[in-house]
Structure 1
Amino acid sequence: MADKKIIEITPQQEKEKRIKRELARFRRLYRDLPNDEKILLEKLGLEAAFMSATLEDLKDVVNRDGVVTSMPQGEYSIDRENPALKSYNALIQRYNTTVKQLFDILAKTNVETNESGSIEEFIKKK
């Protein structure tokens, strides 16, 4: 019998899988559009997918470590806001802006082509 090789998935590989999964969800929204219109949407979708996966990671860190962390300062320590929470709060704003841009472009395109429903379906699945 041949020995089975165990393949370990790294956290980076797991994140890349989550990014690809999220990007596939965005791509379904604009798959029927002409290629010239897909270029900007593809870039926005890729950025939004990356941000979504990163937000999940940051949320895990905050849930694990808490909202407030202790920072040693010589003989004493200072409680401060978790740096991951600060990053999460900044990134969630950028994510929302990016997704809004994507949906605004899609809504304009859908009005021009008289399509509807795909954006609402995406939001319901999220």
Structure 2
Amino acid sequence: MKKSDKHKRISAEIKRLNSIFENIDESKLKIAKSLIENAAFMTVTLEDLQETINKDGVVSEYQNGENQWGTKKSPEVEIYNTMIKNHSSIIKQLTELAPEDMIETDELLNYINGARK
């Protein structure tokens, strides 16, 4: 995948998230901007990692020395596990910045629950 494709996907996700949070208080929006950008990056990266994990599996083989072979958790799984925790934390922070009436909207709930358009 080309870097420009990933940047386009991240930009589209930022735009989508900005539209969800467009009605929050201006002072909160400044705080949310960085969270939105990081959430968008993580969303796209997690999708890419999922694709790689689905294609290559959750384990990888390694060679330690001339005759020592084995398997271990793939690097993509390690990165995915760490990033999904951070992504969840950012989404939680974003929902805490949102007004009460917005938290109940279907679009935000779908996003929080992992549904994608």
Number of equivalent positions = 111
In structure 2, the residue matched to 1:82 is: 74
Matches of 2:102 and 2:47 in 1, distance apart? 30
* Aligned-partner SS, 2:51: helix
Which residues of 2 match residues 42-57 of structure 1 at below 5 A? 42-57=33-48
List gaps (5 residues or longer) in structure 2.
Answer: none
Structure 1 residue 75, shift from structure 2 partner = 1.8
Q: Please give the root-mean-square deviation of Cα atoms over the aligned residues, in Å.
A: 1.8
- Look at both structures and tell me which one has the larger radius of gyration over its CA atoms: 1
Matches of 1:20 and 1:39 in 2, distance apart? 18
Q: Does structure 2 conserve the Cα–Cα contact (< 8 Å) formed by 1:68 and 1:81?
A: yes
* Aligned-partner SS, 1:33: coil
* Aligned-partner SS, 1:78: strand
In structure 1, the residue matched to 2:16 is: 25
TM-score (norm 2): 0.83
From 88, 95, 98, give the equivalent of 2:87.
Answer: 95
Q: Does structure 1 conserve the Cα–Cα contact (< 8 Å) formed by 2:28 and 2:97?
A: no
TM-score (norm 1): 0.78
Relative to 1, partners in 2 of residues 1:33 and 1:41: Cα closer, same or farther, differing over 3 Å? Answer: same
List gaps (5 residues or longer) in structure 1.
Answer: 1-9
State the percentage of identical aligned residues: 26
* Aligned-partner SS, 2:23: coil
In structure 2, the residue matched to 1:122 is: 108
